[in-house]
């Protein structure tokens, strides 16, 4: 018994000692933690369970779950969804792209259109969490530079969400997180606030969200979500349901080499601020967007020697299986037309179109690995060519071209009013399938150009001499415009007697397009970005010196240059527009016959007539841009040539003469009763008078007058003198005052009243922009001279209405001048 008692005492003593030791160890750990915590500015808030609360993998991902493996694994059981994030993609840049998969009727967006895009990263957080952050990529620096640390501290990326880790994989190489609530919440995945949907749907009214499909692939995960929100402006709120699709796409571990943007070649660009130790100012860096085209490993040597090679990964654009079958081949032709351009960069078969393989169940239209031309059942007359690019490098990841069904209406109207005078195939209410197919091909090529990174080149058409547009030999060699990226539609300059075949009335891939692809996609083999910039800049100088047709006219960010016009042709708007009007005069009387449809009620005639009027007004606008205009041609540093050049005085006076002949000499052909009497809303005498008045007021606008005056001071005698300009307009409007038995028709009387009213508005204005300028003085002098002319003309006027009109004008001028003298 004694021995048993002693053993019990020893056990108790040992337990006490062990407990005391453990207590001391726990106290020591607490002390260490307390000491460490004093080093932190802010103690992290616990947002998750501790490690000992994380469950075994099998108890979380049980046999009820369906699992799909890819970039990361997605597990789903009913409404519960887990992401299993492997350590290998932590801190990896991932692009999320949200699109409409199914769209409600009557809204401004269609299935396939983009909602938003972000760059995100997953990372391990404290307290056993996975953190989801945006990677904004606004400011950057080389990691080898000291300033990198400052940039990193001052560009802390925002946290989007923190997910408690539910379980680890068996080998602890991945973490399981519950994203069920996240996929249903209001966040970037379900954000429509910056899309076109926001005008019709209350973006903050998300009522429910349900995942409808999940697909996982090696570099991407695709998730579809059905959502119900409220429509805007309805009381009570009406529900609207749609299905959006989010793609998680892993961006390349090693970004594609960049190429810096140059404003002399038209590319879209990504931009960011670049910081470096050697700088004396921050660099706003712009990098062009383009596809990653690289030769196959065995072909690198051939490629460097200038031989054509096929790229490792060509650009493939699939045609939406919902596209009407008869148009698919033409859309593919438009895509394949760009193959010749890529040959200038050293690649053959670099791009091609394909029909979507409907029988291949492994492929899905919403898979971000595939580029698709989506066909929209829409009454909108349009098409567009967007792209998604890696903001780190400019590498284009995919494209989703939007093709609206009703674009064919636009194509029909364009071709009818621009080409029917020369192409008999255009003289129909409904074109042949072959002709419409070629029109579709042209638009397809244009939109594909955007998906390759190219911007509009509105100045390209200005590099073609107008008379060359009537030359078959020139058109065969060069086409009517150097770039299909211009808004130069069809050859409206060609006259019937020129006998230009249909093929040469169309735009096509031109010299500029081939050059732009070469400049953007051909490697320089430079050691770094700065060296690359110097090399490709020299390419531009050399090529433009040899071929001015390669000039890029940026009509989107710089609209003042009169060469950067849309819907125009040729290097002289006055000559081109005169030819265009001749063709309109041929077309208009034939419209009743050419728009006839059995059983119709002149609807086609109404549309065609309006398009003729629009085309005529477009020609006036092209010419007006030349008055007071100048050209801007960007030059390389060290080039002594002028950047700004004024339009010569003679050419500006040619524009005034155009208005005299084509507008102020009343274009009665526009109100041909054989046509105007058959349409609902014709151009009548009153609206024609208004058209003339608006044209004259534009010529005499004080801003235009001041621009002409300022250009004279800036550019000297080569620019138009304001006195000469006013005199030219004066002669146009008052030409009827010469001779005997003067008769002034109603159109001319209205123009003359408009002229006097425009001069009075400037003379009596108290705005310094008008009153304190040479324009005011010159117009007052012109009015005094006009007073004398009218006094003499009244004596030679026997027509009662003309005499009353002139006496009225004389009285207005006299009252004005007397009032000015008495001030």
Q: Give the mean pLDDT of 439-443.
A: 97
Contact 490, 427 (CB under 8 A): no
Residue 52 confidence (pLDDT) = 63
What is the DSSP code string of 403-470?
EETTHHHHHHHHHHHHHTTT-GGGSSSS--HHHHHHHHHHHHHHHHHHHTTBPP-TTGGGGS-GGGGG
**How far is the C-alpha of 460 from the C-alpha of 552, rounded, in Å?**
6
Among 604, 624, 644, the domain-final residue is 624
Average pLDDT for the chain: 91
Pair (31, 127) in one structural domain:
no
Percentage of the chain modeled with pLDDT above 70: 93
Residue 345, pLDDT > 90, answer: yes
Residue 348, pLDDT > 80, answer: yes
Is 149 within the bounds of a domain?
Answer: yes
Residue 380 confidence (pLDDT) = 87
Q: Give the mean pLDDT of 391-400.
A: 95
Pair (404, 317) in one structural domain:
yes
Residue 43, pLDDT > 60, answer: no
Give the dihedral sign, CA 310/313/317/318.
positive
Residue 170, pLDDT > 70, answer: yes
What is the total residue count of the chain? 823
Q: What is the pLDDT of residues 638-672, one digit of tens each?
A: 999 999 999 999 999 999 999 999 999 999 999 99
* Confidence band, pLDDT 50/70/90 cuts, at residue 15: very low
Pair (62, 6) in one structural domain:
no
Beta bridge partners of 132: 122, 161
Tokens standing for residue 746: 């109603």
Distances (CA, A) of 622 to 16, 590, 625: 100, 26, 6
Residue 27, pLDDT > 50, answer: no
Least confident of 104-108, 404-408, 456-460, 722-726: 104-108
Residue 198 confidence (pLDDT) = 87
Pair (468, 376) in one structural domain:
yes
Residue 823 confidence (pLDDT) = 61
Q: What is the pLDDT of residues 150-160, one digit of tens each?
A: 999 999 999 99
Is 268 within the bounds of a domain?
Answer: no
Q: Give the mean pLDDT of 294-313.
A: 94
Q: Give the mean pLDDT of 604-623.
A: 96
Q: Give the mean pLDDT of 515-528.
A: 96
Pair (314, 189) in one structural domain:
no
Is 358 within the bounds of a domain?
Answer: yes
Q: What is the pLDDT of residues 674-685, one digit of tens each?
A: 998 888 888 889
Is 588 within the bounds of a domain?
Answer: yes
Contact 395, 255 (CB under 8 A): yes
Pair (447, 484) in one structural domain:
yes
Domain containing residue 415: 297-624
Is 653 within the bounds of a domain?
Answer: no
Number of compact structural domains in the chain: 4
Q: Give the mean pLDDT of 207-229.
A: 94
Residue 739 confidence (pLDDT) = 83
**How far is the C-alpha of 805 from the C-alpha of 795, rounded, in Å?**
13
Higher pLDDT, 71 or 50: 71
Indicate the burial class of 281 (C-beta count within 10 angstroms; 0-12, 13-18, 19 or more): exposed
Q: Give the mean pLDDT of 698-722.
A: 95
Residue 328 confidence (pLDDT) = 98
CATH code at position 594: 3.40.390.10
Residue 709, pLDDT > 80, answer: yes
Pair (606, 690) in one structural domain:
no
Pair (700, 730) in one structural domain:
yes
**How far is the C-alpha of 150 from the C-alpha of 275, rounded, in Å?**
10
Pair (35, 75) in one structural domain:
no
**How far is the C-alpha of 336 from the C-alpha of 319, rounded, in Å?**
13
Pair (35, 66) in one structural domain:
no
Residue 681 confidence (pLDDT) = 83
Residue 51, pLDDT > 90, answer: no
Pair (702, 757) in one structural domain:
yes
Residue 680 confidence (pLDDT) = 83
CB atoms within 10 A of CB 477: 10
**How far is the C-alpha of 426 from the C-alpha of 582, rounded, in Å?**
17
Pair (692, 543) in one structural domain:
no
Among 194, 217, 250, the domain-final residue is 250
Run of H or E including 222: strand 220-231
Q: Give the mean pLDDT of 734-750.
A: 93
Tokens standing for residue 253: 């571990």
Among 624, 651, 672, the domain-final residue is 624
């Amino acid at each position: 018994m004694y021995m048993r008692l002693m053993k019990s005492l020893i056990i108790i003593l040992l337990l006490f000692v062990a407990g005391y030791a453990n207590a001391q160890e726990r106290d020591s750990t607490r002390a260490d933690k307390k000491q460490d915590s004093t080093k932190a500015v802010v103690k992290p808030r616990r947002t998750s369970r501790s490690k000992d609360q994380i469950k075994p993998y099998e108890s979380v991902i049980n046999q009820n779950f369906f699992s799909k493996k890819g970039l990361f694994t997605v597990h789903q059981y009913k409404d519960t969804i887990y992401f299993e994030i492997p350590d290998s993609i932590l801190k990896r840049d991932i692009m999320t792209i949200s699109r409409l998969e199914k769209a409600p009727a009557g809204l401004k967006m269609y299935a396939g259109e983009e909602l938003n895009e972000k760059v995100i990263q997953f990372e391990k957080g404290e307290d056993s969490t996975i953190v989801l952050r945006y990677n904004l990529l606004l400011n950057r620096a080389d990691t080898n530079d000291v300033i990198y640390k400052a940039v990193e501290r001052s560009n802390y990326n925002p946290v989007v969400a923190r997910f408690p880790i539910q379980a680890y994989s068996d080998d602890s190489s991945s973490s399981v997180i519950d994203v069920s609530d996240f996929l249903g919440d209001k966040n970037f995945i379900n954000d429509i606030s910056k899309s076109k949907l926001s005008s019709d749907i209350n973006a903050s009214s998300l009522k429910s969200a349900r995942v409808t499909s999940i697909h996982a692939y090696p570099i991407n995960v695709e998730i579809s979500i059905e959502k119900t929100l409220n429509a805007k402006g309805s009381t009570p709120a009406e529900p609207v349901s749609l299905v959006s699709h989010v793609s998680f796409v892993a961006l390349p571990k090693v970004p594609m080499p960049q190429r810096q943007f140059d404003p002399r070649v038209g590319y879209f660009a990504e931009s960011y601020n670049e910081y470096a130790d050697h700088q004396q100012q921050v660099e706003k860096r712009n990098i062009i967007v383009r596809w990653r085209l690289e030769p196959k490993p065995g072909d690198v040597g051939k490629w460097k020697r200038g031989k054509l090679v096929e790229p490792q990964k060509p650009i493939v654009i699939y045609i939406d299986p919902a596209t009407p079958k008869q148009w698919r081949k033409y859309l593919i032709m438009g895509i394949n037309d760009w193959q010749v351009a890529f040959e200038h960069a050293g690649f053959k078969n670099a791009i091609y179109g394909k029909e979507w393989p409907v029988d291949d169940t492994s492929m899905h239209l919403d898979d971000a690995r595939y580029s698709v031309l989506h066909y929209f059942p829409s009454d909108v007359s349009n098409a567009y060519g967007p792209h998604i690019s890696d903001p780190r490098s400019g590498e284009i990841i995919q494209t989703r071209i939007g093709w609206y069904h009703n674009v064919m209406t636009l194509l029909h109207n364009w071709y009818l009013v621009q080409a029917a005078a020369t192409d008999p195939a255009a003289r129909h209410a409904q074109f042949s399938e072959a002709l419409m197919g070629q029109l579709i091909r042209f638009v397809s090529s244009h939109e594909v150009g955007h998906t390759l990174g190219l911007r509009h080149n509105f100045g390209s058409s200005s590099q073609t001499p107008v008379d060359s547009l009537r030359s078959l030999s020139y058109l065969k060699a060069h086409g009517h415009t150097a770039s299909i990226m211009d808004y130069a539609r069809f050859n409206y300059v060609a006259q019937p007697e020129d006998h230009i075949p249909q093929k040469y009335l169309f735009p096509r891939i031109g010299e500029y397009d081939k050059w732009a692809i070469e400049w953007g996609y051909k490697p320089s083999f430079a050691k770094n970005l700065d060296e690359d910039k110097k090399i490709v800049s020299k390419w531009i100088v050399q090529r433009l010196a040899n071929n001015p047709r390669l000039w890029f006219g940026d009509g989107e960010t710089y609209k003042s240059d009169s060469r950067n016009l849309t819907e125009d042709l040729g290097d002289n708007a006055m000559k081109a527009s005169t030819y265009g009007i001749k063709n309109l005069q041929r077309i208009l009387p034939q419209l009743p016959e050419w728009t006839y449809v059995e059983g119709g009620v002149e609807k086609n005639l109404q549309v065609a007539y309006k398009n003729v009027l629009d085309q005529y007004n477009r020609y006036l606008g092209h010419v007006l841009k030349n008055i007071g205009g100048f050209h801007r041609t960007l030059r390389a540093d060290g080039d002594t040539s002028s950047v700004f050049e004024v339009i010569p005085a003679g050419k500006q006076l040619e524009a005034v003469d155009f208005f005299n002949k084509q507008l102020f000499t009343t274009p009665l052909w526009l109100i041909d009763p054989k046509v105007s009497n058959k349409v609902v809303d014709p151009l009548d005498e009153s609206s024609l008078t208004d058209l003339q008045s608006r044209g004259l007021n534009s010529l005499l606008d004080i801003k235009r007058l001041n621009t002409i005056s300022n250009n004279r001071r800036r550019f000297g005698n080569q620019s138009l003198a304001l006195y000469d300009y006013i005199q030219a307009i004066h002669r146009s409007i008052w030409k009827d005052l010469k001779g005997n038995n003067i008769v002034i028709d109603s159109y001319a009387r209205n123009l003359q009243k408009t002229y006097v009213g425009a001069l009075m508005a400037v003379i009596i204005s108290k705005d310094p922009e008008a009153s304190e300028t040479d324009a005011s003085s010159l117009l007052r002098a012109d009015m005094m001279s006009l007073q004398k002319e009218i006094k003499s003309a009244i004596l030679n006027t026997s027509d009662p209405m003309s005499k009353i009109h002139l006496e009225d004008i004389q009285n207005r001028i006299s009252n004005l001048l007397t009032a000015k003298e008495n001030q």
